[in-house]
């Protein structure tokens, strides 16, 4: 671990070199055309300056119009990636970057849906190489919070299958074999389990005006169920539809036995400081900060220290990578839609996506998220939580997010 002084010196060198050579406004991504086998001398200099980033994970998701490849990084990438193209390949060079063995294993594994190659160059870059065949065009961009490089690949239009009825005047003997009919469209109903937190003897968090978490989340869940039920292609189940107490374990078992595709748990946050407000969405993982751990401990109903070693919890039976990736994607999609929708009506403080060892997220086998809608301990948000209009809008925001997540899944399952 370099000292703080070293880090600031590194960033200083990085900044100087970057601003002297690539004057980009607002941290925009630079795309520099590649010319032959040259390596820009600055690349060597920069590669020695800031600490390298590491590709800690690779994900691929098929959407309706494109396939998205995401490279999750341990820190923002500097300098910007460069693209190179040959007659048969497209390459994205990530300077000053390292590769986790698990990432390579994942990208070459059977379950990874497309062919690509990740290799290390002598100048300390990672080269992502894709065969061009099959892709019409691509877009890539660098995003932060969390640091990642996103590559969207647009496939060639599939060769159109034209099926024509033979002209009625043509004798049948001259027609030849009938064209093969297109495969039938099989659309699987997605199963969604909505989990309104608490209930019965467990009121959940309480507001100063007496608002109870268990009541508000049930209202929101009921609205969400109604919205999803209107969509013919989803089956919705609720872990509770009335004010009853249900163990966390039974909630997870309920979703698992119904073979749910998605699990959405709805909760309301609380904080000792009344000024704290806002929304945050969780998926399972090590607590992203001490407060995330406190939130999970409260929702799990266990003392804080019992929640402190989530990675042992994961490693014990290897939570599958796909579930973690999909849950993260589900959390982002839902949070973005929810915040965007509510922003039109209210001032929403967006705390973003966090991870924490929530029991229901750990014990469910499908992509699972837990939404902490607002803080019942904040008087403004408690008032909002009591409003039936607000409850409906929250449901609608979550519904929009689920729809954006579901649509590519339904397309892919055809």
List of residues contacting Zn ion (CB under 5 A): 197, 204, 267, 299
Residue closer to Zn ion by CB (options 107, 270) is: 270
Whole-number Cα distances in Å, 410 to 36, 64, 306, 308, 321? 43, 9, 39, 37, 21
Residue closer to Zn ion by CB (options 54, 288) is: 288
Residue closer to Zn ion by CB (options 267, 362) is: 267
> Which residue is it, tokens 């999970």?
296
As a 3-state breakdown, the chain gives helix, strand, coil percent values, each rounded to 5, of: 35, 25, 40
CB of 202 to Zn ion, least distance (A): 9
Residue closer to Zn ion by CB (options 130, 376) is: 376
Cα distance between residue 367 and residue 329, in whole Å: 9
Residue closer to Zn ion by CB (options 198, 393) is: 198
Cα distance between residue 326 and residue 106, in whole Å: 15
Nearest to 77 by CA among 58, 114, 51: 51
Cα distance between residue 9 and residue 177, in whole Å: 74
Question: What would the two tokens of residue 158 be?
Answer: 């599939």
Cα distance between residue 414 and residue 394, in whole Å: 31
Neighbour tally for 130: CB within 10 Å:
20
- Answer yes or no: are the C-beta atoms of 382 and 211 closer than 8 Å: yes
Report which residue's Cβ sits closest to Zn ion.
267
Residue closer to Zn ion by CB (options 83, 202) is: 202
CB of 82 to Zn ion, least distance (A): 47
Any residues with CB less than 8 A from the CB of 228 and at least 6 apart, and which?
192, 194, 234, 236, 399, 402
CB of 360 to Zn ion, least distance (A): 10
Residue closer to Zn ion by CB (options 53, 269) is: 269
Residue closer to Zn ion by CB (options 373, 409) is: 373
CB of 294 to Zn ion, least distance (A): 12
Cα distance between residue 24 and residue 18, in whole Å: 9
> Which residue is it, tokens 């009919």?
181
CB of 305 to Zn ion, least distance (A): 20
CB of 198 to Zn ion, least distance (A): 6
CB of 381 to Zn ion, least distance (A): 14
CB of 99 to Zn ion, least distance (A): 40
Cα distance between residue 349 and residue 292, in whole Å: 16
């Amino acid at each position: 671990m370099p000292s703080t002084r070293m880090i600031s010196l590194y960033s200083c060198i990085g900044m100087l070199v970057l601003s002297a050579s690539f004057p980009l406004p607002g941290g925009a991504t630079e795309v520099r055309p590649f010319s032959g086998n040259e390596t820009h001398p600055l690349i060597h200099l920069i590669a020695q300056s800031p600490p390298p980033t590491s590709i800690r994970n690779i994900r691929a998701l098929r959407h309706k119009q494109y396939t998205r490849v995401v490279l999750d990084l341990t820190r923002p990438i500097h300098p910007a990636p460069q693209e190179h193209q040959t007659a048969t390949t497209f390459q994205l060079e990530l300077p000053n970057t390292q590769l986790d063995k698990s990432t390579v294993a994942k990208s070459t594994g059977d379950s990874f849906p497309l062919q690509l190659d990740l290799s290390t160059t002598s100048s300390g870059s990672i080269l992502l190489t894709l065969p061009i065949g099959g892709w019409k065009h691509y877009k890539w961009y660098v995003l932060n919070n969390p640091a990642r490089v996103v590559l969207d690949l647009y496939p060639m239009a599939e060769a159109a299958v034209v099926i024509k009825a033979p002209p009625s005047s043509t004798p049948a003997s001259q027609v030849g074999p009938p064209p093969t009919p297109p495969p039938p469209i099989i659309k699987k109903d997605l199963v969604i389990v909505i989990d309104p937190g608490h209930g019965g003897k467990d009121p959940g968090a309480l507001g100063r005006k007496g608002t109870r978490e268990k009541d508000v989340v049930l209202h929101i869940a009921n609205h969400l169920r109604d919205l999803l039920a209107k969509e013919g292609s989803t089956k919705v189940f609720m872990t509770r539809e009335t004010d009853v107490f249900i163990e966390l374990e039974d909630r997870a078992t309920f979703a698992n036995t119904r073979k749910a595709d998605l699990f959405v748990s709805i909760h309301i946050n609380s904080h000792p400081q009344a000024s704290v407000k806002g929304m945050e969405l969780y998926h399972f993982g090590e607590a992203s900060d001490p407060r995330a751990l406190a939130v999970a401990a409260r929702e799990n109903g266990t003392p804080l220290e019992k929640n402190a070693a989530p990675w042992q919890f994961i490693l014990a039976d290897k939570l599958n990578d796909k579930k973690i990736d999909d849950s993260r994607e589900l959390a982002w999609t839902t949070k973005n839609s929810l915040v965007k929708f509510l922003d039109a009506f209210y001032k929403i403080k967006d705390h973003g996506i966090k991870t924490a060892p929530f029991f229901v997220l750990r014990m469910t086998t499908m992509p699972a998220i837990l939404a902490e809608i607002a803080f019942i301990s904040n008087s403004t948000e408690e008032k909002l939580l009591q409003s039936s209009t607000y409850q409906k809008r929250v449901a609608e925001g979550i519904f929009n997010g689920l729809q954006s997540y579901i649509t590519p899944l339904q397309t892919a399952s055809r």
